[in-house]
Chain A
């Protein structure tokens, strides 16, 4: 047992600078054995830089990290033997077939030929690519490539799996299929998964615990339920017609709770008392002479958590149609 007391990933004051730019500004992390840990943040927040340090591809400027019980700088080889990595920007050779790539990956991990072949076939079946295994990867769809990438990262049965934005660019159906595979892998294999994502819904549905990163710093950490509970009451969002008096609307809403920054044409408030107060809000708006185009009551989500922690919304966090896709 080389993992540090059930914590396969531990980072302490991890910093990475590129010249004068500080991409990661002192991150502390602890990931527990067997959990799916979500690392949520917008583009450029420092997610991929953190993953690259944890997977030994980049040396930290300061601080230290241990993965699978090994120091990422001093024992980089041991770390690489213990982890599986599916990087967002690591291509899969389009000229090779899925089966050839799995065999190559097995060889790179020092797995004996017959064992590598056996594991490769099993993984192809697991990710549903057996029929396409002898086709060149260049002919695969985006979803098939990501599934193959997942299989490649698992060939050596790693203790810890790093998935860097595994569903970016995928259609909702492929995304949902990949989520199911990650869940199954975690549930049945007990693999610890470190998942970076810019999609709040992905983090919400997959991860047992989440750290939210913004501008190189972790701004919130906890289970999805804990994080949302910190936000508190649901948000009531009022859509206004083009000629409506937004100031009058904001004034009318003030008595119902704390205002929330919103897009132009909308006013929002953290609704004290929850859904039971919606009718009172409607009456107050009417009495103030404010025309309303729509009302939406929204229970807190991770975007609200992000907003509360950083003062701005998570760009690109919208991820529509996933419920439909998951239901298929």
Chain B
């Protein structure tokens, strides 16, 4: 019980770290929304191209991508915050306490997941105000938000691993634009059936495509357990890889003290 309370307290601190820092929260929250607004306006007519899945609007097609994009942004902040803790010495304060070493990691990742979840809900709330219809209803919104939380925990873990290895917030922030490149070479913004050549091959092998398509299905076509499980499996895989990396990085940093 004590360990759980410690994880929760450190998770709460991680959330506070992000939401009280406008330079972290504003880009993380606004950039995906801005991209959503621009792409919805610019590409709305593409939904009439033969082969495009049946959707009400490009907004409906792309909203799941926006949720994941927001989760990725927020997760990178988790790594930057961990690096700041190391640079400033707050990490030392945590190590000097009797709390389990793992709580430092779990707390930070829990915070990233919580932010990813609530940010996802917020994006849906805003887009519904602008006319979005979610075919899968409230359950679909929750499924997408849960997946976003899992992705945020996974990418947050990778960012935290990077922070623990480098100890530099700048290095963390500098390394993660690659992540967004990964999102672009997927079916996040366009259906795979309308792609061709090497881009289609890359997008097909990109697990992000399968995750986004699984989530998108809940929004544009209605609930599908099998499609959701594919999306959750990809997110879970990212989490497992990321958390393992972060655990090793923490062990490595602690070993430096030996």
A residues neighboring B (CB under 8 Å): 55-59, 77, 80-81, 85, 87, 89-93, 95-96, 100, 103-105, 107-110, 113, 136, 152
Closest to A61 in B: B258
Partner among B2, B16, B98 whose Cβ is within 8 Å of the Cβ of A100? B16
Smallest CB gap from B2: residue in A: A110
Contact A57 to B96, CB < 8 A, known contacts A91-B88, A96-B16, A110-B2 = yes
Whether the pair B99, A108 counts as a contact (CB closer than 8 A) is yes
Q: Is the CB of B98 within 8 A of A109?
A: yes
Q: Which of B202-258 contact A (CB under 8 A)?
A: 257-258
The answer to whether A87 and B13 touch (CB under 8 A), given A81-B98, A108-B94, is: no
| Also in contact, A93 and B17, with CB within 8 A (given A59-B257, A108-B94, A110-B2) | yes
Q: Does B102 contact A (CB under 8 A)?
A: no
* A80–B95 CA distance with the chains assembled, in angstroms: 9
Q: A89-B92, A108-B9, A152-B93 are in contact. List 10 more A-B contacts (CB 8 A).
A: A57-B92, A57-B257, A80-B97, A90-B92, A91-B90, A91-B93, A96-B16, A108-B6, A109-B99, A110-B6
Given contacts A90-B89, A96-B16, contact A56 B96 (CB under 8 A): yes
B127-169 vs A, CB cutoff 8 Å, 1 = contact: the mask equals 0000000000000000000000000000000000000000000
Distance between Cα atoms of A103 and B13 in the complex (Å): 11
> How many residues of B sit at the interface, in one of the four size bands?
20 to 34
Closest CB pairs A-B (n = 3): A91-B88, A108-B97, A107-B9
B36 CB to closest chain A CB (Å) equals: 29
What is the chain B residue whose CB lies nearest that of A55? B96
B5 contacts A by Cβ under 8 Å: yes
Most A C-beta atoms less than 10 A away, residue of B17, B20, B96, B103? B96
Query: What residue of chain A has the Cβ atom nearest to residue B5's Cβ?
Result: A107
With contacts A107-B5, A108-B6 taken as known, whether A57 is within 8 angstroms of B13 at the C-beta atoms is no
On whether the beta carbons of A90 and B97 are closer than 8 Å, the reply is no
Q: How far is the CA of A132 from the CA of B20 in the complex (A)?
A: 18
* A95-B20 in contact (CB<8A): yes
Give Cα distance in the complex from A100 to B17, angstroms. 12
Closest to A76 in B: B98
Complex-state Cα separation, A136 to B99, whole angstroms: 24
- Residues on B with C-beta less than 8 A from A90 are 89-90, 92-93, 96
A110 CA to B96 CA, complexed, in Å: 14
Q: Which of A57, A80, A89, A96 contacts B98 (CB 8 A)?
A: A80
